[in-house]
Amino acid sequence: MKVKIIAAILFSTLFTFSCTDLSEDLYDKVADDNFGNTPNEIDALVGGAYSSLRGFSDAISNAYPTCEYVFFLNEVASDEATIPTRGTDWYDGGRYQDVQRHQWKADNGMILSAWRYCYAGISKVNSIIYQVDKSGLTPEAKAPIYAELKAIRAYYYYQLLDMFGNVPIVTNFEDQSLPSNSTRRQVYDFVESELLAALPHLKSNIVYSKMTQNVAYSLLARLYINSEAFIGTPRWQDCIDMCQNVQGHTLTADYFANFATQNQTSNEIIFSIPYDSKAGTLGNYMSSMSAHYLHRFTISPTGDYPWSGNGMSAQPGVYSSFAENDKRRKGMLIGDQINLGTGSVIIMDSGEPLTYTEDIVNFTDAKQNEGVRLAKYEMKAGESWERDHDFVLIRYSEILMMQAECYVRLGSPTLATPFLQQITARAGTEMPATIDLDFINKESLREFTFEGTRRTTNIRFGTFFQPWWEKGSTPAYRGIYPIPATVLATNSNLHQNPQY
């Protein structure tokens, strides 16, 4: 009987001490309220705002620079690039074809991806601001951090202003209410005021890849040069003023130094997204995404080069718009591709030689070798899947070009000459007898081919709405993209951009 009593006692003790604690212990993660108390921790948080620029990877968006599709969307809609469908390859539900023809719809995955890229960055910045708010730093110490974060956020809003126009402005991480659209004008004003407010607190010297005063000035210059397109008010002189504030940058002697594997040494780059193979950043595949699958044999005799995708090509006419002596033309590949192993032309699976052609007979059913390829970013043997090239967002060359354009627009083309001379001298090309907008437009294409800005330039010059290659006239409302269908479906406070 004693034993039974002991058993009963033991059993009831078990019940009495029975654990009901359901709190979660973290081991390899940190709760957000436990972090952000030391300067080092603040640095680690702010670093996240920069890493967000690389984009993210999910079911619809790949972790290519700026989520791949932000780049694709703006390139394929412009007059310089195309993603031809080759057999079944790169058909992908017709999303590139629709953009090529300016017939995109609100459910195009690239449009959603572009939206998410910007708002993921904005939300992240908002959350970091929230962390900094809670931290014990002094207001004086917080001010430059806020300035840096808000200027990065303004960069994202600038992208939204350019692509979508009437987007919601969200700045408070804790506010979970469903936002409604702001007008394009309001977004414009927001970007301008945030950048201007941040300027005094930003670093005035060159700090590679960071949000400095030079970057903020450059962004304001971009905002003002497109002011007429964005809100109908031209601000050419304001653009020139901002450009003149940019200090300390010069053109590199070699144009391609800006796109080399180790391009972080370039003094021309004002703002970029750093990539590094050792840091595990999934990176800048721009060139190999474009090259033919077998292109690797032109890089390594044994074909040891990670993946190429036979994707984006130049629209016919782009290559031939370069003068023969234009050094920048080497940024594109054309003609026979030689197998370093055999010394003869690479033979494709079809048995035909790999010879890139400028012409693309039918971009919805193109041959594997059709189209001139992007080779601006260096491809070299020994590269790993993660690349080292930093993705260039703003170069000093653009500051020069913007000033030249504004002077032409203000009716003083002679004032544009010194800026353009720097650009053409480096390219090894001749200056034209007369500088006009048409020249500026064409020179922009040549100087900034495949740098993700061509769509905006086309819109500013109005050519975007005129027929070209594989599209007819484009109605004015397509100057901005529709709000993505998924976003509209989940937020009833949002309304679609007009006419979509």
Partner 1 sequence: MNSKHTNTHPESSRSTTFIMFLIFLLFLTAGMYAQQKKLVTGTIYDNTSIALPGVTILEVGTQKATTTDADGKFTFEATVGGTLQISFIGYTTQNVKVDANTKNIDVKLVESAFMLDAVELVSVGYGTMRKSDLTGAISTVKGDDLVKGVISSTEQALQGKVAGLTVLQSSGDPSSGSTLRLRGGTSLTASNSPLIVVDGIAGVDINVVQASDIKSVDVLKDASATAIYGSRGANGVIIITTKGGSKATTITYNGYTGVSEASNQLDMLSADQWRGYVRANNLTDAIDYGGNTDWQKELYRKAYTQSHTLSISTGGEQSGIRTSLSYLKNEGVVKTTQLERLSANVSGYQYALDKALKFDTGIFANIDKWHPLDYRIFERSFNLNPTIPVRNTNGSFTEVGGTLNENPVEILTDRDTQNERHRILGYFKTEAKLYKDLQAVVNLSLEHNATQGNTYKPSFAVLEGRTENGYAQKTYGEYTNAQVEAYLNYNKTFGRHNLSLLAGYSYLENIYKGFGAQRSGFETDLFGYNNLGAGYNYRLGDVYSYKGKSNLVSFFGRANYSFDSKYMLTGTLRRDGSSRFGANNKWGLFPSASAAWKITGEEFMKPTENWLTNLKLRVGYGVTGNQDGIGEYKSLSILGVGQDSYYDPSTGTWSLAYSPTQNPNPDLKWESTRQTNIGLDFSLFNRVTGSIEWYDKQTKDLLYTYQVPQPPYLVGTMLANVGDLSNKGLEVTLNADIIRGDKFTWDVNVTFAKNKQKITKLSNQSYKTETIQSGSLHGLSGMSNTFSQIIGEGYAVGTFWGREYQGLNEKGEFILSEDEKEIGNAQPDFTAGLGMNFAYKNFDLGFTGYGIFGQDVLNATAMMLNDPNRMPSYNIQDDFVGSPIKSAPTYSSYWIEDASFFRLQTATIGYTIPFKESKAKLRVFVLGQNLFVITGYNGVDPEINNTANASDTPGFSDRLSPGIDRFNNYPRPRTISLGLNFTLGN
Between 168 and 331, whose beta carbon lies closer to partner 1?
Answer: 168
Judged by CB under 8 A, does residue 82 bind partner 1? Answer: no
> Which part of the chain contacts partner 1 (CB under 8 A), choosing from 135-143, 277-285, 451-459, 461-469?
277-285
- Residue of 157, 188, 297, 396 interacting with partner 1 (CB under 8 A): 297
Distances (CA, A) of 341 to 303, 315, 387: 8, 31, 24
170: Cβ contacts below 8 Å, ≥ 6 apart: 119, 122, 123, 126, 179
Q: How far is CA 158 from the centre of its chain?
A: 12
Structure tokens at 303: 């074909």
In our burial notation (b when 16+ CB lie closer than 10 A, e otherwise), range 447-458 reads: bbbbbbbbbbbb
Residues of span 36-65 touching partner 1 by CB under 8 A: 41, 43-45, 47-48, 50-52, 57-60
- Residue of 140, 278, 411, 433 interacting with partner 1 (CB under 8 A): 278
* Dist. CA 24–CA 146, nearest whole Å: 32
- The runs of H, that is alpha helices, within 331-483 are 396-409, 413-427, 437-447, 454-461
- Residue of 276, 338, 410, 437 interacting with partner 1 (CB under 8 A): 276
Residues of span 88-107 touching partner 1 by CB under 8 A: 88-95
CA angle 154/157/162 to nearest 5° reads 130
- Residue of 127, 186, 355, 424 interacting with partner 1 (CB under 8 A): 127
Judged by CB under 8 A, does residue 274 bind partner 1? Answer: yes
**Residue 89: exposed, middle, or buried by beta-carbon count in 10 A (0-12, 13-18, 19+)?**
middle
Angle between helices 236-245 and 396-409 (to 10 degrees): 150
Angle between helices 184-198 and 213-225 (to 10 degrees): 150
Between 143 and 488, whose beta carbon lies closer to partner 1?
Answer: 488
Between 366 and 445, whose beta carbon lies closer to partner 1?
Answer: 366
Show the binding pattern over residues 160-179: x = contacts partner 1 (CB under 8 A), - = does not: --------x-x--x-xxxxx
Judged by CB under 8 A, does residue 215 bind partner 1? Answer: no
Q: Is 319 helix (H, G, I), strand (E, B) or coil?
A: helix
Residues of span 340-359 touching partner 1 by CB under 8 A: 347-352
The DSSP letter of residue 280 is T
Show the binding pattern over residues 216-245: x = contacts partner 1 (CB under 8 A), - = does not: ------------------------------
Judged by CB under 8 A, does residue 133 bind partner 1? Answer: no
Q: Evaluate the CA torsion angle 295, 299, 302, 303 in order and state its sign.
A: negative
- Residue of 301, 306, 428, 467 interacting with partner 1 (CB under 8 A): 306
Min dist. Cβ of residue 50 to partner 1 (A): 5
Show the binding pattern over residues 424-463: x = contacts partner 1 (CB under 8 A), - = does not: ----------------------------------------
Between 232 and 351, whose beta carbon lies closer to partner 1?
Answer: 351
Judged by CB under 8 A, does residue 253 bind partner 1? Answer: no
Min dist. Cβ of residue 399 to partner 1 (A): 20
Show the binding pattern over residues 2-31: x = contacts partner 1 (CB under 8 A), - = does not: -xx--xx--x--xx--xxxxxxxxxxxxxx
* Dist. CA 92–CA 321, nearest whole Å: 30
